[in-house]
Structure 1
């Protein structure tokens, strides 16, 4: 069994994420600050869930619709550079976070045991789930729901998001490997433990920070995932 202090810390960290989630949820749906691109509402809710109060501050400064489009003197809207990069990282991070949750829960339901089957299976599942969710986000934000739109969504993800997702996932997997083998080796980390999700939070935050330079590079090349 995990030490009492570690379980308490894990529960506290998860609770902070839930409270942060509730703050952004209330601001979006009760106070009416809806995003022009609806999938960004999911993105911000997922981001604050694993980053916590720091992401709430980022949302307040750069994520709310009116914060992302300050007015120039000629009264034409302009999205700030940091807001564009933050959108890139947050959106790709949301894909990775949702992929992590979906894949890990599915593998646990299938009685996957990383101690016996190998962590690489979970990592493949997490990565494929993240890319699939990215494609679905692209598909459902498009104007049409046709089969051809799936190919366009996949192409857009490969062109504008795959690099950031890959860097994000690499940092997440590196941390999870350390967590499983060195930081929290006994008992083995499994999704039925709050420590597993606490370790996941840390890994996702590491991915968020690590993916920032990749997002800067993509934005510099004119590749962006945020709303235009």
Structure 2
């Protein structure tokens, strides 16, 4: 049986994410601090939604300064590049998690083997990464889709994979060890709280992978 405090903790954690989301949303659209690369507005909003106040601080240090320049900066500090890389790949994974889990729930496949959900999450994350790259460009064509896919494979796939691996490890533990007596269902706040923890774990785990990619010059195009 689920402990009585767990739903309350889940709602509080989710509420903190929503408040953090609102802070960045207001700063971006009400105060007009728009990102030179528009998809980065989605990236920061998604990041603060699952990381919370810590991501608001990252946005204030690294995201907001980008909005104060007319075009993407080419002189960003090494740390800022890594923050952007992790946040961007994390947004792909977070959106992929939501899209895949909702789709599986809608088709009544959420009660199947965990690997089905993991495969859906990963494929959705990569697909969203490709779409983000595609919509950054001025044209939409089949050739641009392949170019976007190639860019994702080259500069983001390692970080996405590290992020997803940590998320999947945590979700497995959550299902079988942390919450074994209270099955995690999409219509429960505890499910999303567990997902939030997994996404934060993914963010932390992806940092070394992003640092490695940046160090090898494999983060070109990440803004």
- Counterpart selection for 1:199 from 189, 194, 197: 194
| 1:90 and 2:81 are equivalent in the alignment | no
SS of corresponding position for 2:35: coil
Q: Give me the TM-score of the superposition, normalised by structure 1.
A: 0.93
Query: Corresponding residue for 1:72?
Result: none
SS of corresponding position for 2:9: helix
On the 8 A contact 2:33/2:68 being kept in 1, the answer is: no
What RMSD over aligned residues (CA atoms) do the two structures have, in Å? 1.5
Query: Corresponding residue for 1:46?
Result: 46
| 1:79 and 2:76 are equivalent in the alignment | yes
1:12 deviates by 0.2
Q: Give me the TM-score of the superposition, normalised by structure 2.
A: 0.95
Moved runs in structure 1, 4+ residues, more than 2 A? Answer: 65-69
For the residues of structure 2 that align with 1:95 and 1:23, how far apart are their CA atoms? Answer: 21
SS of corresponding position for 1:64: helix
With over 3 angstroms needed to count, the CA separation of the structure-2 counterparts of 1:185 and 1:68, relative to structure 1, is farther
1:67 deviates by 7.8
For the residues of structure 1 that align with 2:2 and 2:124, how far apart are their CA atoms? Answer: 29
For the residues of structure 2 that align with 1:35 and 1:17, how far apart are their CA atoms? Answer: 21
On the 8 A contact 1:62/1:68 being kept in 2, the answer is: no
On the 8 A contact 1:189/1:195 being kept in 2, the answer is: yes
**Gaps in structure 2 of 5+ consecutive residues:** none
With over 3 angstroms needed to count, the CA separation of the structure-2 counterparts of 1:169 and 1:66, relative to structure 1, is closer
| 1:171 and 2:203 are equivalent in the alignment | no
On the 8 A contact 1:21/1:49 being kept in 2, the answer is: yes
- Counterpart selection for 1:187 from 178, 182, 186: 182
SS of corresponding position for 1:190: coil
For the residues of structure 2 that align with 1:3 and 1:100, how far apart are their CA atoms? Answer: 26
1:143 deviates by 1.6
Query: Corresponding residue for 1:65?
Result: 65
